[in-house]
Amino acid sequence: MTGAGRAGSSGSALRVAAVDLGATSGRIMAGTVSARSLHLEEVHRFPNGGVRVRDGLFWDVLGIHREVLSGIRRVAETGPLHGIGIDSWAIDYGLLDRDGTLLGNPYSHRDARTDGVAAKVAATVDPARLYATTGLQDLPFSTLYQLVAAQGTAALESAEHLLLLPDLLAYWLTGTIGVERTNASTTALYDLTTGDWARDLMGDLGLPWSILPPLREPGSIIGPVLAEVGRHAGIPRRVPVVAVGSHDTASAVVGVPAATDRFAYISSGTWSLVGLELDAPVLTEAARRADFTNEGGVDGTVRFLKNVMGLWVLSECLRTWADQRVEGTGLVALLAAAEDAPALRTVVDINDPRLLPPGDMPSRIRELAAEAGEPVPQTPVQVTRCVLDSLALAYRRHLRTALELAGRGVDGVDGVDVVHVVGGGSQNHLLCQLTADATGLPVLAGPSEAAALGNVLVQARALLREQGSADLADLAEMRALIRRTHELHRFEPTPTTRGGADWDAAEGRLGG
């Protein structure tokens, strides 16, 4: 059967396309959901990355759109298609003019145009007020800072609408303008306490708040695919596009297979997001000074977390070694060798801003080690072990801080029992073991495609609700289905590390 059949009729399965876009690759998954089954199949994958033009770093968003259409078409060609959902990384946006035409390629958040902008904003808006309004970690490349950097440009002066990337792609499919709430909450343009755009804040900074479109709830139906789009792209019968948790971390947290609320999570990929799922934001001065972020989650939850540089650092090391034709630097071989390398020999501040842009990452790691008085890693194996030890050390520090700020404790009645690692990093067994050792908690790793699973499940619930079904009614039911259908790997803290003395010493060497 091909085309768009009736979703879920007579107990049949729903089949949807989950568009899951990362900063280094994109994938389109066919997700099939019933009351007792949940299956993902990758039908299309494509490379992604910033494109440098003169002195700017941009996204090839038209190329991304082409690949998205190709992937959706492949889903439709191989079975029924009942819905489409799109998630991606946060913060980056496109501007539309009054005719709905894109005003140039969107900038990458790794572009240098926001250098120094945070200080400029702080001179106008007290950082304490900014945090009390947005609840966000002070990332130097947020949407707010990008817009301040764009002041005076022809594009911003001509803009009628700002759309975050998943919403831009959904607009091209449906013709409907709006921004999904979980992604809006990452922009520093959103008032977490009122649940609306922070128009006063934008006004104080001289930004045109009128370009901010209506907000959408995750799980709402955006609209059907436009007839002309479907005709050209081979997408049948006006399939509905669903607003999922369009920030990929929001979808990934839906995909955390937690059995209770006593869990922490690490969404591990290009970025690592280390945090807790809460019912309300933590907007204290202590949370601001610790630079923790509060982002909106599905079903009114709050993702209280810290952004950590993530496996981007290792992937850039691999790319550099490949460009330099260094032998023996395949990922599998490096991880195997790194497992036998001395533990915690060298650690660095993995969140140092010098690790943000692309470039010769091994040299930067060596520079940071030398500055910190650490043994300088010389070989690819030593660099790899340094990156993984440093990531695990950051996870330990930020998880402990999150628990303290949220009024919880690892060993207390309100603590957590397990750390769930989801995303691509869940397949890095060395990093998962180091995370268990560093935190002193068991780690449950998987699923690796948590964002796509969360995307699929929110779509399925929205479509079922359209039919009057109460299946997949809440996050607990969604997560139970993942536990029943997906294998997880458990990592226990190594007995010799349970006391944490080695990790304490390593943290002390970095001044933690």
Cite the active site residues.
248
Q: Is 505 exposed, middle or buried (0-12, 13-18, 19+ CB in 10 A)?
A: exposed
Which of 374, 389, 376, 396 has its CA nearest to residue 341? 389
- Return the closest-CA partner of residue 184 out of 95, 91, 286, 114: 91
DSSP run (H or E) holding 484: helix 475-485
Spatial separation of the C-alpha atoms in residues 512 and 505, rounded to whole Å? 9
Q: Half-sphere exposure of residue 137, counting CA atoms within 13 Å on the CB side?
A: 22
Q: Which of 297, 374, 359 is nearest to 135 (CA)?
A: 297
Site of tokens 């081979």:
234
3-state secondary structure 49-105: CCEEECCEEECCHHHHHHHHHHHHHHHHHCCECCEEEEEECCCCEEEECCCCCECCC
Neighbouring C-alpha atoms within 13 Å toward the C-beta of 54: 2
Q: How far is residue 446's CA from residue 244's CA, in Å, rounded to a whole number?
A: 20
* Token pair listed for 95: 């501007």
